Chains A and B, each alone.
Chain A
Amino acid sequence: MPQTDEETLSLWREQCRRQMKRPLSARLKYGFVRVSNREHVNRSFATMSDYRAWCEQHQPSYLGYGRAQPTAQV
């Protein structure tokens, strides 16, 4: 188990290098997740702000579509 952030990042870098060496078929096969309760509704938004606002109102917050809090000024 990695003990430090640097060790964790080092493992991540190795994982990136391994993945880049894998064929495109493997990258796609394991990179795209399918959900079974998928809705079949198209939507469109005039602006990206409208889309972000819709996500904040309609997506559960744990999915992380909400805007991050502004960074505190030091």
Chain B
Amino acid sequence: MDEPNRQPKFELAQARELAEALAQHGADYLFLGKAGAILLGYPGTTLDLDLFAPKDADNARRCIDALRKLGFHLDEETEKALLTGKDFVQIKDGPFDVDIIHAPDGIESFSAAKARRVMEDIFPIASLRDIIASKKASNRRKDLVDMELLEEFAREYAAMNAKPLSSAFDQAMKRSGGDA
């Protein structure tokens, strides 16, 4: 009897290996989708990792080198798809499933998303605003099911991570060096 197709669970050690390999090769990327939300504390589950990367051949080369180092098998066609920046590249021939997305629905550009990113430990993650925008724009039934839960999570996340508010008066006083 054939052994079932087993693979290790995706856990912190693998996530770190991935982030460290991408960082060592200088690759630019953001965690997107439900994987990004889970890293931020969303109590849900997913099957794969969505990585948002810029359409840039040099950056793609760095991603390819990092993924190969981790044991992903990237054939010629997959390599070409990454280098030419095809919108969606699904990589399933490796230790875990990774989707590289170059043009996610609902996000205007990589640079804009990067400017709004959140760092959780060593993981660069698209903002919840962008994660939700891309899911809304994709208009898939499975994403719409999650939408209300994600939006509630985003409110809780904002409340838990809010910086103390200061009024315009407080800020004016601070600028003038006075006490409020």
Residues of A whose CB lies within 8 Å of any CB of B are 9, 12-13, 15-22, 24-25, 27-48, 50-52, 55, 63-68
Contact = CB atoms under 8 A, between A and B. Distances in A.
Given A12-B152, A32-B38, A44 B89 contact: yes
Contact of A64 (B15, B39, B145, B156): B145
Given A19-B43, A64-B140, A44 B4 contact: no
B115 interface: no
Among A37, A40, A48, residue most surrounded by chain B Cβ atoms (within 10 Å): A48
Nearest to A48: B87
Interface residues of B, number: 59
Contact of A45 (B8, B86, B97): B86
Contact of B141 (A15, A32, A68): A68
A27 B77 contact: no
Nearest to B91: A42
6 smallest CB-CB distances across A and B, nearest first, come from A64-B142, A44-B81, A20-B41, A31-B38, A19-B43, A32-B10
Contacts of A38: 5, 7, 92, 97
Contacts of A42: 73-75, 77-78, 89-93
Nearest to B103: A48
A19 B41 contact: yes
A65 B86 contact: no
